[in-house]
Amino acid sequence: MSIETKVDSLPGDPFRGERAREIQAAILRVLIPILAALVIGGLILLILGKNPLEYYGYVLRRGLLTWGGLQETFTRMAPLLLISAGLIVAFRAGIWNLGCDGQFLLAAVISAAVGPALIDVLPRGITLVACMVVSVLVAALWSLIPAILKSRYGINEIITSLMMSFLGISFANVLVKLFFADPGTTVPQTRDLAVVDRLPRLFDTTIHAGLLIALAVVILVHLMMTRTAFGLKLQVVGANPAAAIHAGLNVGWLTILTFAISAGLIGLGGSIEILGVWGNVRADWNPAFGLLVVPLVFLARFNGYAVIGFTLFFSALMIGGDSAARRVGVPSDFVLVLVALVLIFLAVVEYLDHLRRKRTTA
């Protein structure tokens, strides 16, 4: 599912005549699963006795067509974009970093702990930057164990990074409850970063500046992967590790670096979500964005620009789906059903496409 895709966005790859057809096929491969998922999702709603048009109508209105909803959607894009950026780096290098939720949450807690502590002594700008830097470092550090296990001992990173994710989530909770709990409330949560001290808003909206950071990071990551020597080296490691060794690339070091960058970017996502939206972390808070972003990144075929579009779609679905679910009377997790359907159809379309390709090009 992943391997053939990597070529698509390399500037140096399929040649021109084919290129237009490739892009067209790529768009179809994505639109068909989404439409099919919406149709089947609608059928499920019908079976549940709900009106699917009403549900989708609310999703659309709340997620995109009202000003308040649209702002929320944009705000939600920021962490999703940063997680995507982190996953693109890893996946293109053939490293399956599935530890995103743990990395995200730990980074979030660190920002929530450092921010209120520093703001008393440092100006706001420095505090915010310091929070982000520390969060990025902590997340990167957290990825070191699976990274070293993989590069030194060849242990599969899917399992180790997932394990570290569970550990990270629990550890984040421990931190909130035992070390950074706000003594001022009975609720186990960190001290609050006052609204005025958080990331600045964009103009008169409720959207915070983290969105701009996230967009810039995604674009930079895309350029890094497609236009720099470093990105190309990572892709060689991802596409054929034996060739990487043959070409003299330091595969072990690149693996560790990839993990660190990937986790660091995901951590940045956790940090700005706290600094921009929440201001604190409650115990047991876990948005589990990773669950959603992994399929999203696959849908986008590891392409940074495509990721931006999909993130918008998924954010709108999440924001709109939440309120639509409440109004129509289905569980708010119904969005996850839709996401699952998208995934299933994605796989089906991928398979059919594979058969078709085999018939034409082998």
Partner 1 sequence: MSEIEPPAMSSGISHAAPPVVAVRQVTKRFPGVLANDRISLEFRAGEVHVLLGENGAGKSTLIGILAGMQQPDEGEVLVDGRAVTIGSPRESLEYGIGTVFQHVLLVPSLSVIENLMLGGNWWQRLSRGPALARFRELSALLGVTIDPDAEVGRLSLGEQQQVEIMRALWRGEKVLILDEPTSMLTPQGVHDLGQVMRRLRDKGVALILITHKLMEAYEFGDRISVLRLGRVVGDIPPERLRSMSEAETTEAVIEMMFGSTAEHARDAETLVGRGRPVHRDRTVDRSAPPLLAVRDLETEATRGECPLRHVSFDLWPGEVLGIAGVDGNGQKHLAEVLAGQRAVAAGRIDLAGMDVTDDGVPARRRHGVRYVTDERLGEGTVGIFSVATNLVLKEIGTEPLWRRGWSDWGRIHEHARDQIERNDIRTPSEKTPVARLSGGNIQKVLLARELNTDARVAVFNKPTYGLDLQNTRIAHERIVTSADRGVAVVVVSTDLDELIQVSDRIGVMFQGRLAGIVENGPDVERRVGLLMTGAEAA
> Contact residues for ligand ATP (CB under 6 A)?
361-362
In the complex, the smallest distance separating the C-beta of residue 240 from partner 1, rounded to whole angstroms, is 5
- Beta carbon nearer to ligand ATP, 14 or 252: 14
Whether the CB-CB separation of 235 and 228 falls below 8 Å is answered with no
Amino acid identity at 156: N
Q: Which does 14 bind (CB under 5 to 8 A by kind): partner 1, ligand ATP, none?
A: partner 1
Amino acid identity at 253: W
Nearest to 288 by CA among 92, 98, 93, 144: 98
Cα distance from N-terminal residue to C-terminal residue, the chain: 16
User: Pattern 10-49, binding to partner 1, x per CB under 8 A?
Assistant: xxxxxxxxx-------------------------------
In the complex, the smallest distance separating the C-beta of residue 246 from ligand ATP, rounded to whole angstroms, is 21
C-alpha span between 70 and 63 (Å, rounded): 6
Q: Is 154 in the site for partner 1 (CB under 8 A)?
A: no
* b/e code 160-192 from CB counts within 10 Å (16+ = b): bbbebbeebbebbbebbeeebbbeeeeebbbbb
Q: From the list 121, 195, 196, 229, which residue makes contact with partner 1 (rule: CB under 8 A)?
A: 229
- Beta carbon nearer to ligand ATP, 121 or 362: 362
Q: From the list 76, 222, 233, 301, which residue makes contact with partner 1 (rule: CB under 8 A)?
A: 233
Q: What residues contact 305, with CB distance under 8 A and at least 6 apart?
A: 219, 222
C-alpha span between 97 and 92 (Å, rounded): 11
Q: From the list 2, 7, 57, 182, which residue makes contact with partner 1 (rule: CB under 8 A)?
A: 7
Whether the CB-CB separation of 318 and 333 falls below 8 Å is answered with no
Distances (CA, A) of 294 to 80, 99, 152, 290, 316: 10, 11, 26, 6, 17
In the complex, the smallest distance separating the C-beta of residue 21 from ligand ATP, rounded to whole angstroms, is 14
Choices 42-50, 138-146, 229-237, 340-348 (CB under 8 A): range interacting with partner 1 = 229-237
In the complex, the smallest distance separating the C-beta of residue 239 from partner 1, rounded to whole angstroms, is 5
- Beta carbon nearer to ligand ATP, 186 or 361: 361
In the complex, the smallest distance separating the C-beta of residue 326 from partner 1, rounded to whole angstroms, is 46
Q: From the list 60, 239, 336, 344, which residue makes contact with partner 1 (rule: CB under 8 A)?
A: 239
C-alpha span between 353 and 156 (Å, rounded): 29
C-alpha span between 251 and 228 (Å, rounded): 17
- Beta carbon nearer to partner 1, 44 or 249: 249
Q: From the list 152, 227, 326, 327, which residue makes contact with partner 1 (rule: CB under 8 A)?
A: 227
Contact footprint for partner 1 (CB under 8 A): 3-4, 6-7, 10-18, 227-230, 232-233, 235-236, 239-240, 242-243, 245-250, 358-362
